[in-house]
Structures are given as structure tokens and as C-alpha cells.
Amino acid sequence: MATEPGSDAILALDDVVAGYGKMTVLNGTRFRVRRGAITTIIGPNGAGKSTVFKAVFGLLPVQRGRIQFDGRDTTNLAPRRLLELGVCYVPQGRNIFPELSVRHNLELGGVAAGPEIDLEQRMDALLERFPVLRKRANAQASTLSGGEQKQLEIARGLLLDPKLVLIDEPSIGLAPRLVRETFDVLVGLRAKGVTVLMVEQNAKSALEHSDYGIVLEMGQARMEAEARAILGDRRVGQLFLGGGMTAEAP
């Protein structure tokens, strides 16, 4: 059974059941995500990792159970409402508008912004946070490298100043140097108080940059612990981390 962190959880899933048509993928999923930390979900293909994000972000109906974000029930809320509450979702793959400039791509992150938000000021602040994007602000997004495009996706998601970032497979298709740069961006978000929940097939590297980890298997959280404890767990290492790459348990 998954352990429960204390009351500092910003996201809580309680016995969530969800899936596609008659096929359930999440089978009573239950875990907590600590505020201000990086948490990585690992597990085999088909375990329900991406399905968790779709259920949390209102893209997939929750059939049973409850999802709470920042102390309120957000089960089956619409994505736009979740954006307004402070949840950002960066899906797997490339999700930019290649023919538009970097700056115009950023502007599209403000579609749910209210009139009280100064988008120009927010964009200028984001471009300062991502120097590579600042240098290429007027360039077509298609001319960015893979790692730069991923930074653009993350930056666009930050335009509404989210409390929680859900990011699915941030390293997919990237060269090792760009993987490190992308993880560094996520560590930088944590330093600014943003909570990050990540799904990542590059499980060992992701956990090395994380505070906590969740092992998902057959739609249930089998283990929920500090990342270093998961890295040191022999069974988890054999199943999900490449066997010999795991450290000895203390």
C-alpha cells in the first residue's frame, strides 16, 4: 500500500478509477504529491502514468474516487477551470505552433487569463527566466532545437503562474545534453516554489532530480517514497531502473 505524506500535499488522488470506454486503466489509484517538490511517477508501459495526468487535468472522466488540488475537490473539473486554479499540463511530444514566433507561442499560453493579468509583463519575465528563448523571441518556433522547443512548452505553461506543473515525458527524443538542460529547468521551477509532477521513462535520471517518487503498476501506486529510497530499492531497480544501475539500499 502507498504511504501518505502529511498535510503538505498539494495534490491528492483517492481511490481513483478511470479509463477508456469499458477498459479501466486506473484501478483505485491513491497517492499524494507534496507541495514545492519534484515528484516522478515511474512504472511499466500501460501502468496508467499518462492516464493519471489526463484524469487530474480533466481530459478523462473519473468514474469513481476523488481528486483534490490545493485543498479543494477538483474531480472532473474542466481543463480551463484547472488552469485558472493553478494547474499546468505539458503533454508528451511536441506541442508548439511551428510557424509562429516564440513570443506568439508564449502568448497562446494566456488564453485563460483574466483581464487583471498583464500578459506582456508575464511574457517579459518568462523570457528573462529562459535566456535561450529571449534570444530567439522573434524566431519561428520550428527553428528551435528539440530541447529549446521543450523549454518553450514549459514556459508557455508557466504564463499563468501555476502552482502545479504536470509534465509528461520531458526528455523524450532529446540528446543527453538537452535532457540535462530540461531537468535543470524543472529544478529551477522547484526553487521558485512550483510543484512539479513528472512522468518519465528515463526513470533513473528523473529520480536523481526528484524529491519523491511514485511507482505505478497496473493502475495502482505500489510504492510512494523519497526518490533516493526508490533508487535504492532492489526490486524497483530490477523492474524499472535497468537492474545494475540501482544503488545498494542503506
- The model carries a pTM of 0.87
In DSSP notation, 23-79 reads EEEEEEEEEEEETTSEEEEE--TTSSHHHHHHHHTTSS-EEEEEEEETTEE-TT--H
- Say yes or no: 124 and 146 in one domain: yes
- Say yes or no: 157 and 172 in one domain: no
Report yes or no on 19 lying in a domain. Answer: yes
Report yes or no on 67 lying in a domain. Answer: yes
Residue 244 has pLDDT above 90, yes or no: no
- Say yes or no: 102 and 223 in one domain: no
Residues 33 and 13: their CA atoms lie apart, in Å, by 9
- Say yes or no: 27 and 93 in one domain: no
Report yes or no on 250 lying in a domain. Answer: no
pLDDT, the chain, mean:
87
- Say yes or no: 170 and 237 in one domain: yes
Report yes or no on 231 lying in a domain. Answer: yes
- Say yes or no: 82 and 106 in one domain: no
- Say yes or no: 154 and 169 in one domain: no
- Say yes or no: 189 and 80 in one domain: yes
Instruction: Please give the pLDDT value at position 114.
Output: 67
The residue range of the domain holding 151 is 89-161
Report yes or no on 182 lying in a domain. Answer: yes
pLDDT band at residue 36 under the 50/70/90 scheme: very high
Mean predicted confidence (pLDDT) in 62-69: 97
Highest mean pLDDT among 42-51, 59-68, 95-104, 227-236 belongs to 59-68
CATH code of the domain containing 43? 3.40.50.300
pLDDT digits (tens, 9 = 90+) for 115-167: 677 888 888 888 888 888 999 999 999 999 888 888 898 888 888 889 999 99
